Amino acid sequence: MFLSAIAQCAKKGFLHLIVPPERFELLSGKDELTTYEFNTKVAKHTFCRTCGIHAFYVPRSDPDKIDVNVRCLEGVDLTEIRPRPFDGRNWEIAMEMRGHIG
């Protein structure tokens, strides 16, 4: 069975926190990570080669930034998070509404 990237992303429950690279520091585990690209090859999806967790990536929408999965950050109270909805199934339209296409 084929699972599209959009459906897979919706199922992950990824809570996005987009930051400039200078505000991102990987403290450990670099040797356990691998990266894949698909479609436009702009996004760089980094995940753990052992468990498959998708902790961060370079997003297609902001290729000069790092998109961190807030669920992977220690010490974050998820009940305090107020995410803004984004329609990933209609990415191009959602990006236009956001103000730019990346």
The reported pLDDT for the residue numbered 6 is 47
- Residues 28 and 85: beta-carbon distance below 8 Å: no
Entry pTM: 0.71
In 3-state terms, what secondary structure has residue 23?
Answer: helix
- Residues 43 and 58: beta-carbon distance below 8 Å: yes
CATH assignment of the domain containing 49? 2.170.150.70
In 3-state terms, what secondary structure has residue 77?
Answer: coil
Range of the domain at 41: 5-98
**Domain count within the chain:** 1
Q: What is the dihedral of CA 86, 69, 58, 51, to 10 degrees?
A: -130
Taking the chain (102 residues) in runs of 10, the rounded mean pLDDT of each run is: 47 83 93 91 91 89 90 89 74 71 45
Beta strands 33-36 and 16-19 are unpaired
Who's near 9: CB < 8 A, 6+ residues apart? Answer: 88
The reported pLDDT for the residue numbered 93 is 80
| Residue 17, number of CB atoms within 10 A of its CB | 20
The reported pLDDT for the residue numbered 33 is 95
99: left (phi over 0), alpha (psi -120 to 50) or beta: left
